[in-house]
A and B are shown apart, each in its own frame.
Chain A
Amino acid sequence: MPILEAKDLTYTYSIGSPFEKTAVDHINLQIEQGEFVGIIGHTGSGKSTLMQMMNGLLKPTSGTVLLDGKDIWEKGADRRAVRFQVGLVFQYPEYQLFEETVYKDIAFGPKNMGLDEKEIDRRVRETAEAVGLREELLEKAPYALSGGQKRRVAIAGVMAMEPRVLILDEPTAGLDPKGRTKILSQLREYHKRTGCTVMLVSHSMEDVAKYVSKLLVLSHAKVVCYDTPANVFARGDELEQMGLALPQITRVFRLLRERGITFPEEVYTVPFGAELLRAKLEGRAPQC
């Protein structure tokens, strides 16, 4: 049974006004437990609306969301409990920090869950470590931290609820390359360690390609495909038509194909591409 399922999910903004717009249009989707899902689509493709419906923040216009096969909108369902199970990190989450200390801010979610002090303390310290925040930072005021650190505090605040599904809306937006790599590799670690499901919304094909096991492509409020990165990037022309830029490495290999150098596999990371080329040049089978 999938952990999270969208059933004929639809959301329409400003119904009945001249600004009426369907942001999510009859989407059906099944997310399996333990998957690392990348979500791509241009602005206005419905990514953010879909994410907010997945944890019950937005009520679908029609259709519904199932968590562990249970309808989160059925009568008497506890939506607040759903939000603890499906953690959502918004874009630029550092702007939501409000407590006096980093510790208290990370503890906000667990506290709302009604956990005891000891459990809260364990969670705060564990997640702070998971996002690479040193112990002594915990007693500092959030505003005294650097931009990248604040971002990681905010992510830790959601992780500390120990959700079974962690959704992040562009967690690397506005950071420098080092900050981006840091957050993404910490996410990978977190995913490996906890085995929980991670959904990552991103504009960067390069980043998504490196980390995820499945890719969800949205366009004009509908699902274009939900598949492995290799299968998705194999439909490169379609993606480009949707205004989604392919990773540059994929473009190199598409250009090579035009020049008569072909590989059976779709290439979307640099080390893999280099290995394929070396194998070809050395007349051996690629090792991956």
Chain B
Amino acid sequence: MRNSTNSAGTTGILGVGVYLPRLRLERAAVAAGHRWMAPALKGIARGTRTMANWDEDPITMAVQAGRAVLAWAKPEHVAALTLASTTLPFAERLNAAVVGSALALSDDCSTLDAGGSLRAGSSALLRALNSAAARTELIIGAERRIPKPASTGELLAGDGAAAVLVGPGEPIAMLRGAATAAADFVDHFRETGHTSDYGWEERWIRDEGYSKIVPGVVARALEAAGCAAGDIDHFVMPAALPRVNEAMAKKLGIRAEAVVDTLFEACGDTGCAHPLLMLAHALDRARPGQKLLVVQFGSGCDALVLETTERHVPATAPGWLDGGRNETNYLKYLSFTGQLELDWGMRAEMDNKTALSAAWRGERMVNGFVGGRCTQCGTVHFPSTRICVNPECGAIDTQQPHRLADEPARIRSYTCDWLSYRPSPPFLFGHVEFDSRARVLMEFTDAEPDELTVGTPLQMMFRIKEFDPLRGFRRYFWKAKPMRKAEGA
């Protein structure tokens, strides 16, 4: 076991952002499907877990969480981006580069994928907060785990992403102390190429893992921060095992009321993202001058002691935990996660091979949703074109980049197409007009057919456009999501 202890740095948390998929799978529906062979699951089948839509993955969720924090904190420049996840879609193709590109970060941003354990998110945050460099870093944890059907993990896991922006400026919270420990304590593992985890007995994990590894690391972090366990106002520890948080708080001497809700019942355990997500949740509730302890267990342990500043205000968009849509169809979940092969008919056989050379030429257009604004007449085009489309203008090579990703838009026409193949029929698409009057034919996502009307306000979401199962590729683009009251419409 290797140890390290650090004292508080000068950089702080500038903002946090969370994204949870809209679909919330009712655990009772999952348990009902397995009742014939695993009746005991009923005992943990309370509440809902987030469920990525068919077109969501850790990359798309990370983009949403990143957009949330960037929109709130509005940094001038992001120098580094770390995407932490144990379930990144690409083993090779820098996942963080897709995210950075969709977030319109500049190409001098230092970009890294981090993974390997559930500590990938907390460790990335710890490193950024400890970094001596006075630069702004974005850490995003995103996860979409696919545990084996009928495992407790299937009920417990959730899909989601959380982002933390760290850097110099006016932080909402500062690092007071931190500690970490690496340990090849294998409570669960997943070999490359396998979809689901293999885990050991829970009692052993609790007694030999949590109980013996966490306290020492926490003690060192508290010591570095110069405070006592009793000073902690918010204790964040996403332990998947029942009642471990409460027991650990007691063992460490943390006040029982400081234990932060894991939110597992509402959204599930979002893996790497979860310490960041719980931190965001705790920061929403914390008052200025309060102390937070963030602990993440997994192949060792990370512990961070943070203190909110005077500037502290709730940083996440209100209602991020609510506003979902309950899903009771477990077969749909199995299909979305690729665990159930359905007969989609011949229309699903279309070859969606991506010309990588064309994708590179269109990289800003596709990832960044960047069109072109004619400097002569102001017409905004998507895609950008050499000749202005305005018949009164027609100027050549006058278009400057114009990003549509964050621009409000409305439906001009729509349909629910039951003929085309989509992994979640019907195929909803239509003509969309942005505030800049740019018009784009777009797919709608996270929408119900009866929500679509001419004039419906829309927000843009970065999503999977198509899968190419033949070659193991997926391509992304932006889709339009109807805005609802809970989401700020």
Asked if chains A and B come from one complex, the reply is no
Q: Which residues of A contact B (CB under 8 A)?
A: none
* Chain B positions near chain A (C-beta within 8 angstroms): none
